[in-house]
């Protein structure tokens, strides 16, 4: 079959789609792309179906050889991107031919790059998804990250509009900028006293190096909860755990399915995607919004890409 | 019954505050009823000891609406039908031996029992799968007999071998994969608790009844057990 050949896999490149849903009660994490904003733009630009798989490139430095005539696009973090050593732009569809080389070099601004082709890669889904969960060896190519010499099967395409995203829509990730994460109170919020909530919303937190697909540990003013732990229960995407040391943890796509730390509420999905592009050491602040507002934001975000 | 907002598209319904047989039965019965009602546009249903988490399509429900629907379904069914129990019984063969069970002696000593008595007690009860989590296919089973109740290790082990059968407080479990853990190891099975060949990849489902069956070394080895 026609394919892209992996010449250099990069440090941490995996195949992801929106995630694996419906298996959390078997202990299987949802997984999926960390930044659905860039990922949705990618599928939109390539006119792919909304759940089409893509490469999630965490540290750049990936090189592919094309054995196919098709279309390619790169979104997400600002990065060096070359086709046959010619510099190319993110958020723009390019035609590639047999014999072409594609390279994503250094990541310049942001953290994660998405790359896919017209129609995505033809890889069999596991439990309804191509998302790679390395811990459980599910999805992707043999449940693992990309390795040199892997083959990414895809089909030949002759015609596709060479669209590009208007500059004003391209997400930007200025380094070390402080971002605001919008939060709705929920779960055990009644176990946090008023002054603790004020502290939580009034302080600035730093993103620690314990930041991956599972979650993001923050460092700053500790928050005190009236209770030490809770009976283990299911954890949502974006849930904010407050462990006994008082430092918030935001749970992301590869979070454990259940856990026993109290949770003050959740960060709205769109802001979790923005967080995923932030650097270690960046600052975050929390801002409280109502559930109604969060639903409205989430619905309009989803509608944008339907 | 009450609920809390868990995220923009999920609620968590509570059936009680503390772990008990009664609350857990209510959770498992309700889980069964909700699953069988085949409500449209539900993404995840995750029961735990005292709660059921439900993720839904954001265009199909609001949090309040879904809670009201669930409450109605659970309450009506509850009164009409006899308690629908999951009757699936799952047997897990276990080689109980100090060569594969670092804490068999500790559990016996702490509870003033012989090793054989620990094995007999552990393998004589039926356990309910209260929830699955921690890692894929890791079922939390309870409750174990008070006579072998043993606290977690003071400091967790870096590596608990895959397929170890262990206890902690009133719970018991099988580690699907090698992982860190602080539970007391009583034996080892040859069953894959998490296997891509299985439907849903998990040997256990929430609500199953589990029975541990002691086997000897020959049976363990001939079925692929590893010491």
pLDDT band at B197 (very low <50, low <70, confident <90, very high): confident
Contact A26 B136 (CB under 8 A): yes
* Stated pTM of the model: 0.92
Contact B131 A127 (CB under 8 A): no
DSSP letter (8 states) at residue A143 = T
pLDDT for B84 beyond 60: no
For residue A232, list chain B residues with Cβ-Cβ distance below 8 A: 48-49, 131, 133, 140
pLDDT band at B98 (very low <50, low <70, confident <90, very high): very high
Contact A236 B132 (CB under 8 A): no
Report pLDDT digits (tens) over B53-73: 999 999 999 999 999 999 999
Interface confidence (ipTM) of the complex? 0.95
Q: Does A280 touch chain B (CB under 8 A)?
A: no
pLDDT band at B5 (very low <50, low <70, confident <90, very high): very high
pLDDT for B186 beyond 70: yes
What residues contact residue B178 under an 8 Å CB cut-off, 6+ apart? B159, B160, B161, B162
Task: Please give, rounded to a whole number of angstroms, the shortest distance from the CA of A296 to a CA of chain B.
Answer: 10
**Residue A174 has what pLDDT?**
76
Per-residue pLDDT of chain A (306 residues; tens, 9 = 90+): 999 999 999 999 999 999 999 999 999 999 999 999 999 999 999 999 999 999 999 999 999 999 999 999 999 999 999 999 999 999 999 999 999 999 999 999 999 999 999 999 999 999 999 999 998 999 999 999 999 999 999 999 998 888 999 999 999 987 667 899 999 999 999 999 999 999 999 999 999 999 999 999 999 999 999 998 888 999 999 999 999 899 999 999 999 999 989 999 999 999 999 999 999 999 999 999 999 999 999 999 999 987
**Residue of A198, A291, A25, A296 whose CA lies nearest to B5:** A291
Report pLDDT digits (tens) over B117-149: 999 999 999 999 999 988 899 999 998 999 999
CA–CA gap between residue B126 and residue B137 (Å, rounded): 19
């Amino acid at each position: 079959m026609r394919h892209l050949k992996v010449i250099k896999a990069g440090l941490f490149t995996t195949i992801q789609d929106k995630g694996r849903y419906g298996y959390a009660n078997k202990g299987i994490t949802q997984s999926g792309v960390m930044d659905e904003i860039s990922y949705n733009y990618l599928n939109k630009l390539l006119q792919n179906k909304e759940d089409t798989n893509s490469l999630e490139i965490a540290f750049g430095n990936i090189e592919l050889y094309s054995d196919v005539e098709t279309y390619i696009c790169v979104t997400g973090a600002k990065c060096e991107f070359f086709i046959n050593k010619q510099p190319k732009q993110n958020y723009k569809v390019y035609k590639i031919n047999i014999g072409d080389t594609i390279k994503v070099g250094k990541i310049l601004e942001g953290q994660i790059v998405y790359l896919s082709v017209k129609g995505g890669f033809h890889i069999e889904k596991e439990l309804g998804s191509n998302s790679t969960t390395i811990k459980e060896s599910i999805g992707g190519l043999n449940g693992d990250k990309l390795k040199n010499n892997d083959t990414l099967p895809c089909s030949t395409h002759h015609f596709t509009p060479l669209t590009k995203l208007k500059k004003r829509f391209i997400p930007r990730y200025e380094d070390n900028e402080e971002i605001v994460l919008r939060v709705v109170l929920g779960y055990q919020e009644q176990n946090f006293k008023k002054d603790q909530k004020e502290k939580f919303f009034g302080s600035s937190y730093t993103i620690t190096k314990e930041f991956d697909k599972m979650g993001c540990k923050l460092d700053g003013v500790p928050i005190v909860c009236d209770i030490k732990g809770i009976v283990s229960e299911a954890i949502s995407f974006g849930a904010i755990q407050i462990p006994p040391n008082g430092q918030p943890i935001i749970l992301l796509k590869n979070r454990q399915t259940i856990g026993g730390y109290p949770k003050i509420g959740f960060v709205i999905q769109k802001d979790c995607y923005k967080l995923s592009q932030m650097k270690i050491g960046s600052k975050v602040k929390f801002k409280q919004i109502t559930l109604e507002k969060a639903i409205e934001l989430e619905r309009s975000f989803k509608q944008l890409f339907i | 019954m009450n609920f809390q907002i868990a995220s923009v598209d999920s609620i968590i319904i509570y059936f009680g505050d503390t772990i008990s047989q009664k609350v857990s039965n209510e959770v498992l019965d309700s889980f069964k009823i909700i699953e069988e009602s085949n409500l449209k546009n539900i993404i995840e249903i995750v029961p735990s000891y005292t709660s059921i988490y439900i993720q839904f399509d954001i265009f199909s429900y609001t949090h309040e609406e879904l809670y009201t629907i669930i409450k109605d379904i659970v309450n009506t069914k509850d009164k009409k039908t006899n308690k629908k129990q999951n009757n699936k019984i799952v047997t897990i063969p276990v080689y109980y031996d100090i060569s594969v069970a670092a804490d068999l002696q500790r559990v016996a000593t702490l509870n003033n029992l012989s090793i054989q008595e620990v094995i007999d007690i552990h393998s004589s009860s039926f356990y309910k799968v209260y929830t699955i989590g921690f890692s894929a296919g890791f079922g939390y089973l309870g409750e174990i007999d008070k006579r072998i109740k043993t606290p977690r290790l003071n400091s967790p082990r870096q590596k608990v071998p895959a397929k170890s059968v262990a206890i902690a407080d009133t719970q018991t479990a099988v580690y699907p994969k090698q992982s860190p853990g602080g539970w007391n190891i009583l034996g080892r099975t040859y069953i894959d608790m998490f296997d891509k060949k299985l439907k849903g990849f998990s040997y256990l489902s929430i609500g199953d009844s589990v029975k541990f069956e002691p086997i000897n070394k020959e049976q363990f080895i001939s079925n692929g057990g590893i010491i």
